[in-house]
């Protein structure tokens, strides 16, 4: 059954759910309607028979009983004494046999309203019976009034049959309307599906049709188009990344092949120690490139579930010790953040390598706590980066044409790694001129990281 249900279309399933819901709703409504009608009719019969019994009881109390009892309508009335004798009766009621037995009469006197079989009184269907005490204390009597419920129940039955006949055609009509309405509602979804299938099959850069309005389908189409834009951008970046990586690896490989071919032709005349040194340098360059690519790939993944407290003051001291030309202004107190120690070490090392490579004479390093953030600052007095290029330098394999393009084996991945690792830690990287009024202006790099909350 479950497999059959899952194999149906969404339109069919919604249709079946709607029809079943309609049937259950109509059935519950019919049951409630018939029950309420029967209750109202029963209350009406009870009120009328009680009024008749009360009027007869008043005649008993006044000692003005007539024989037969003057009762209008189809009610059957008896006045029964304590010895279960019929003192008086209406014209169509039995004058010898009480309508109720002793136990039934006792319950009726206590206020219970009883149903008895109509055959006992020669009436059709169930009979509703009420009783009202009457007479003086020395001669207690009971006025019993009975009325057949056949006519009232017949009306309820006729209404039930009418509902049974009318509801199926009504459900069919409503089901047809629901089928057409669901089809019209899902038509934009089918258009989205066809267009998505075309995009998948052809690899085109088209976008899904966005229906008018602001309903869920409109928002779904907008979201899917945004996802397609991001996927297209990711594919473009991937193609560019693969092309750039291949180009960067081709250069050292080409150098190695050329050196080996020349050395092979020279044979014993080749300076093999020098060739080995050059090959080793190219190999190291490729190794650094591969390491950077792997680091970027790991940094693209989601942040780990747990960070550890890191004192940036101590971390900067350890990293800066590897760069003798760097001046480190150590803060007086620890500067704590939450993160990966090795990842933050790589951020600082890349920034220092970049600053040392392009500085004219000085590079300074510092860290300070500012509100909810901690700030790592690297300042050099090199040529700086033009404002128009400060976002582009964070792209992978990017080199500028100015003084900062002087590369000592770098592949243009250093700042890309910095930004990716900083983002992974929930921070940002800012670039600005160190001395805007001077030439060269230098470069100030600020890395903002969330401070550790105590």
- 330 and 195 in a common domain: no
Q: Domain for residue 409, yes or no?
A: yes
- 376 and 273 in a common domain: no
- 258 and 346 in a common domain: no
CATH code of 443's domain: 3.30.565.10
CA distances from 74 to 48, 58, 185 (A): 11, 20, 60
- 180 and 61 in a common domain: yes
- 253 and 360 in a common domain: no
Other CB atoms closer than 10 Å to residue 376's CB: what's the count? 25
- Domain of 443, in residue numbers: 308-450
- 240 and 185 in a common domain: no
Q: Domain for residue 441, yes or no?
A: yes
CATH code of 262's domain: 1.10.287.130
Q: Comparing 116-130, 289-303, 373-387, which segment has the lowest mean pLDDT?
A: 289-303
pLDDT in tens, 39-90: 999 899 889 888 989 988 998 888 887 878 877 777 899 899 989 999 999 8
Q: Domain for residue 210, yes or no?
A: no
Mean pLDDT computed over every residue of the chain: 84
- 344 and 256 in a common domain: no
- 199 and 294 in a common domain: no
Nearest to 143 by CA among 94, 103, 86: 86
- 145 and 30 in a common domain: yes
Q: Which of 280 and 302 is assigned the larger pLDDT?
A: 280
pLDDT in tens, 95-136: 889 989 999 989 988 888 889 888 888 888 899 999 999 988
Q: Domain for residue 381, yes or no?
A: yes
pLDDT at 204: 64
For the packed helices 272-299 and 414-424, what is the interaxial angle rounded to 10 degrees? 30
Alpha helices by DSSP H, listed for 63-149, are 102-109
Q: Domain for residue 194, yes or no?
A: yes
Collapsing DSSP to helix, strand or coil, 175 comes out as: helix
Domain count, the chain: 3
- 5 and 78 in a common domain: yes
Residue that finishes a domain, picked among 205, 237, 255: 205
pLDDT at 409: 46
- 241 and 143 in a common domain: no
């Amino acid at each position: 059954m479950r497999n059959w249900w899952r194999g149906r279309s969404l339109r069919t399933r919604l249709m079946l759910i709607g029809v079943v819901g309609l049937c259950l709703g109509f059935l519950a409504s019919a049951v409630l309607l018939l029950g309420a009608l029967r209750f109202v009719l029963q209350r009406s019969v009870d009120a009328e028979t009680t009024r008749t019994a009360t009027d007869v009881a008043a005649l008993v109390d006044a000692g003005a009983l007539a024989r037969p009892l003057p009762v209008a309508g189809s009610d059957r009335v008896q006045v029964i004494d304590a010895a279960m004798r019929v003192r008086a009766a209406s014209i169509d009621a039995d004058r010898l046999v009480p309508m109720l037995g002793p136990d039934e009469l006792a319950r009726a006197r206590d206020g219970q309203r009883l149903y008895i079989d109509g055959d006992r009184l020669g009436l059709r269907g169930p009979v509703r019976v009420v009783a009202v005490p009457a007479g003086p204390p020395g001669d207690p009597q009971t006025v019993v009034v009975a009325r057949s419920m056949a006519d009232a129940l017949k009306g309820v039955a006729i209404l039930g049959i009418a509902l049974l006949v009318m509801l199926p055609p009504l459900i069919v009509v409503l089901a047809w309307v629901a089928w057409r309405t669901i089809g019209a509602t899902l038509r934009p979804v089918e258009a989205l599906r066809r267009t998505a299938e075309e995009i998948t099959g052809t690899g085109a850069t088209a976008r899904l049709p966005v229906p008018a309005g602001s309903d869920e389908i409109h928002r779904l189409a907008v979201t899917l188009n945004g996802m397609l834009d991001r996927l297209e951008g990711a594919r473009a970046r991937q193609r560019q990344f693969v092309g750039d990586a291949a180009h960067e690896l081709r250069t050292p490989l080409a150098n190695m092949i050329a050196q080996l071919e020349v050395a092979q032709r020279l044979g014993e005349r080749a300076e093999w120690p020098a060739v080995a040194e050059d090959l080793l340098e190219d190999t190291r360059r490729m190794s650094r490139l591969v390491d950077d690519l792997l680091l970027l790939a790991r940094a693209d993944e989601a942040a780990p579930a747990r960070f550890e407290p890191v004192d940036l003051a101590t971390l900067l001291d350890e990293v800066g010790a590897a760069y003798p030309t760097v001046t480190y202004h150590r803060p007086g107190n620890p500067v704590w953040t939450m993160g990966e120690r090795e990842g933050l070490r790589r951020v600082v090392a890349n920034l220092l390598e970049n600053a040392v490579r392009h500085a004219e004479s000085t590079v300074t390093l510092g860290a300070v706590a500012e509100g909810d953030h901690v700030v790592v600052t690297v300042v050099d007095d090199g040529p700086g980066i033009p404002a128009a290029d400060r976002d582009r330098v964070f792209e992978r394999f990017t080199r500028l044409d100015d003084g900062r393009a002087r590369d000592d084996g770098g592949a243009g991945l250093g700042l890309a790694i910095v930004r990716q690792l900083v983002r992974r830690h929930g921070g940002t990287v800012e670039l600005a001129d160190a001395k805007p009024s001077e030439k060269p202006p230098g470069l100030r790099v600020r890395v903002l990281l969330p401070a550790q909350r105590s």
